[in-house]
Structure 1
Amino acid sequence: MRVILFDLDGTLIDSTEAILEGFRVVFEKFGKTPASDDEVKKLIGLPLDIMFENLGIKEGVWDYVNAYKEHYRKISKQKTILLPNAKEAILKAKEFARLGIVTTKTGLYSKELLEHFGVMKYFEVLIGREHVENPKPHPEPILKALHQMNANKEAAWMIGDTCLDMVSAKEAGIKYVGVEFKYESQENMKKCAEIIKPDVLKAVEYIREVAKL
């Protein structure tokens, strides 16, 4: 049976509002001028510690990460939405594939979000930031998901909205499909993915068509 691994932010959900608020609150808590929303958006998809480092935090970065997580957990369910066609994509994918999540978000909070939206039950595994030493674009998260599912690479696909997802899939030796979203420019995505679809449902339909299922 096919396996489809989904990225989370920008692929199935949009938590931009929660992420931006989290960064603003944390910078203010530590007496720093908040980074602009545009600066933060360009980094979404990277692990939190790397995001903060790229925004100029060189010391005590894990204090910032922990403060962010504390605030994010309080607001994430109210300020996150399932993307259009995301649930339909999950249900369609479930008809012909086993499903997993591979994200750089904290796995615990990601699971809570997906349970809130009533879709966690469709996924066999969820690999988050705390489950790996090397997050995407390293192949470790994808390889760990496949290992936990006892699945082989030949049957596996990755769907994601950034080059981090595409590079991780390529390095892991599995097939991949990009989806369009605001976190990654089309120009960049074209450098990382040969196939790019307008949303996750179109990506699932493409995989089903290619797989002749």
Structure 2
Amino acid sequence: MKNLADKGIDSILFDLDGTLWDATIACAQAWNKSFEECGYKNTIGRKLIRKISGSPLDVVLTEYFTFIKEKDYERVIKQYQKNEPQYMQTIGGRLFPNVRATLQKLRSHKKLFIVSNCLKGYIENFIEKKSLEKIFTGYKSSGETGQAKKENIKMIITEYKLKSPVYVGDTQWDFEASKGNNIPFIYAKYGFGEINNAGYEIKNIKDLLELIR
């Protein structure tokens, strides 16, 4: 495994879905409820949720939910924004193996952040539901800022005056956002997406303890 120890990494920015936890069941049910409320009988499952994880909402609607009429886009999104928090509160998601212990160890000598393309309130719900309030220094979501992941990473770097950050994620969107900020990217191979030639990769989140010392 290639090592980042000589890079002087001072902070780690994490993607959320597919990197820290798996909330595909709750997400699928929230979407299906939204479809039903908008008059659509179509349903989706965990497999498609894994595929669309990390994608901007406009991409999800136009490329994956092709059964939805364009005139209904706004209504479906509005219903999903209402339903998702409810399903996250009642069902939530499960942390990937070794996430809690690894984050606690990393927190002792690195600043930790979350940057996700999720709705406003999603990160806060994750932190509260998994009792991780003392772990993260800060976070940004597309739902909060209205910006794409690339811009949100830049905001975190600027706001917290980070000197040598690294981003950990599982999708091509994550990889591109990291490249756009000229920071190292670590591919969470255990997650939802597939990335070729990511450079650095981990098969379990605990591998970060060896990769970033």
TM-score between both structures, scaled by the size of structure 1: 0.86
Q: Any conservation in 1 of the 2:55–2:117 contact (CA below 8 Å)?
A: yes
* Equivalent residue, structure 1, for 2:79: 67
SS in 2 for 1:17: helix
Q: 1:179 deviation in Å?
A: 0.7
Q: Distance in 1 between matches of 2:206 and 2:173?
A: 20
Map Cα deviations across residues 9-45 of structure 1 (whole Å, 9 max, x no partner).
0111110101111111111211223254244432111
Asked if 1:201 is matched to 2:209, the reply is: no
Asked if 1:103 is matched to 2:112, the reply is: no
* Equivalent residue, structure 2, for 1:94: 107
Match for 1:12: what amino acid?
L
* Equivalent residue, structure 1, for 2:167: 158
* Equivalent residue, structure 2, for 1:190: 196
**Cα distance change, pair 119–19 in 1 and its aligned pair in 2 (3 A):** same
Q: Distance in 2 between matches of 1:125 and 1:23?
A: 28
* Equivalent residue, structure 2, for 1:115: 128
Please, which of 13, 27, 30 is the counterpart of residue 19 of structure 1?
27
Q: 1:132 deviation in Å?
A: 3.3
**Cα distance change, pair 121–63 in 1 and its aligned pair in 2 (3 A):** farther
Q: Structure 2: which 5+ runs fail to align?
A: 1-8
C-alpha RMSD of matched pairs (Å): 1.8
Q: 1:182 deviation in Å?
A: 4.8
Q: Distance in 1 between matches of 2:77 and 2:209?
A: 33
Q: Distance in 2 between matches of 1:197 and 1:182?
A: 10
Q: Any conservation in 2 of the 1:22–1:68 contact (CA below 8 Å)?
A: yes
Identity over aligned residues, as a percent?
Answer: 23
* Equivalent residue, structure 2, for 1:79: 92
Q: Any conservation in 1 of the 2:92–2:129 contact (CA below 8 Å)?
A: no
* Equivalent residue, structure 2, for 1:33: 41
Count how many residue pairs are aligned between Structure 1 and Structure 2. 200
Q: 1:116 deviation in Å?
A: 1.7
Q: Which has the higher contact order (CA 8 A, sep 6+)?
A: 2
Match for 1:46: what amino acid?
S
